[in-house]
Amino acid sequence: MIPPRKDLLDIASLSLEEVQFLLETARPFKDLFTRSVKKVPTLKGKSVLTLFYEPSTRTSSSFEIAAKRLSADVTNFQVNTSSVVKGESVIDTVDTLQAMKIDYLIIRHQQAGVPGLIARHTHAPVINAGDGFHAHPTQALLDAFTATETLGALEGRRILIAGDIRHSRVARSTSVIFRKLGAEVAFLGPGPLVPPTSHTGIRTFRSWQDAFKWKPDITYLLRVQLERQRGAFFPSIGEYHRVYGLNDDRLRRVRDEGIWVMHPGPVNRGVELTDAVMNYERCLVNQQVENGIAVRMAVLYWLQPAEKEVPGA
């Protein structure tokens, strides 16, 4: 067992060994899901709080299910974002939670760095469930788990991440984990949504044509926030879909070349993809969701004191 950490705030600060350990630990947890009783007593008597400053259904549910399958008591604290006013201190909230003797804190916040800020002010392990455009480490872990499960070792594999890179914590964390595991990553998207290679350190394609020539093994589509259009990041949803979406023509090429498709959800049909993509036999979206629970269990397990055994190991 790799020595546990207190917090999981991003992927960049994890060593390759830690990433591999978490992926290996998630495997037996996933095996549990096929049993009639999906629960293990690992976190019995422990309390887990999900603190979401940003609306989310799938990530908070996934964490909740993961914690419950480890027998933890879960409280969901959905902060009404309209009541969060500038000047209200996140630290004050955390002091309150500290007094409630929470054992694990799972935090999503619209501003980068907030989980780290909270982690420095609490003894409880903190898991970053997404902070601003910064990081979404459990998403990256589930993506890596899904890709590895599908392709085997990722060494030398090519992963194309398409869409709104600039505003995506998923792109930041997922590109880091894929590269850590030896894969090559490239970005595809319009200039205003893809920071230059000099900032990202990652090659960028401006067209699907060029991206296909690169022979990616996986195409990872990002959700395009519709409101970005108002910020003049691209002219219109229709134009985005025509130029950068995975439309049915491009799906034919994807199918011919046996490329796998991933997406962190929730998807925008008619923007970054079409219905046909969701029905494509190599679309991994549902596996991603399922694997999310397993890797989140692994993370909760790891951030524990070190005595416990991995179930089934």
Task: Using CB under 8 A, list all residues that contact other proteins.
Answer: 12, 86-87, 89-91, 109, 111-114, 116-117, 131-135, 169, 172, 195, 198-201
Which residues are within 8 A (CB) of 224 and not within 5 positions of it... i.e. 6 or more apart?
Answer: 163, 164, 237, 240, 268, 271, 272
Tell me whether residue 165 or residue 284 sits nearer to other proteins (CB atom): 165
Q: How far is the CB of 34 from other proteins (least distance, A)?
A: 37
Q: How many CB atoms lie within 10 A of CB 275?
A: 11
Q: How far is the CB of 160 from other proteins (least distance, A)?
A: 18
Q: How far is the CB of 294 from other proteins (least distance, A)?
A: 26
Tell me whether residue 88 or residue 309 sits nearer to other proteins (CB atom): 88
Q: How far is the CB of 175 from other proteins (least distance, A)?
A: 11
Tell me whether residue 4 or residue 132 sits nearer to other proteins (CB atom): 132
Tell me whether residue 116 or residue 270 sits nearer to other proteins (CB atom): 116
- SS3 track for the chain: CCCCCCCECCCCCCCHHHHHHHHHHHHHHHHHCCCCCCCCCCCCCCEEEEEECCCCCHHHHHHHHHHHHCCCEEEEEECCHHHCCCCCCHHHHHHHHHHCCCCEEEEEECCCCHHHHHHCCCCCCEEEEEECCCECHHHHHHHHHHHHHHHCCCCCCEEEEECCCCCCHHHHHHHHHHHHCCCEEEEECCHHHCCCHHHHCCEEECCHHHHHHCCCCEEEECCCCHHHHCCCCCCCHHHHHHHHCECHHHHHHHHHCCCEEECCCCCCECCCECHHHHCCCCECHHHHHHHHHHHHHHHHHHCCCCCCCCCCC
Q: How far is the CB of 39 from other proteins (least distance, A)?
A: 35
Tell me whether residue 132 or residue 265 sits nearer to other proteins (CB atom): 132
Q: How far is the CB of 176 from other proteins (least distance, A)?
A: 9
Tell me whether residue 36 or residue 82 sits nearer to other proteins (CB atom): 82
Q: How far is the CB of 224 from other proteins (least distance, A)?
A: 17
Which residues are within 8 A (CB) of 307 and not within 5 positions of it... i.e. 6 or more apart?
Answer: none
Tell me whether residue 109 or residue 241 sits nearer to other proteins (CB atom): 109
Q: How far is the CB of 186 from other proteins (least distance, A)?
A: 16
Tell me whether residue 110 or residue 304 sits nearer to other proteins (CB atom): 110
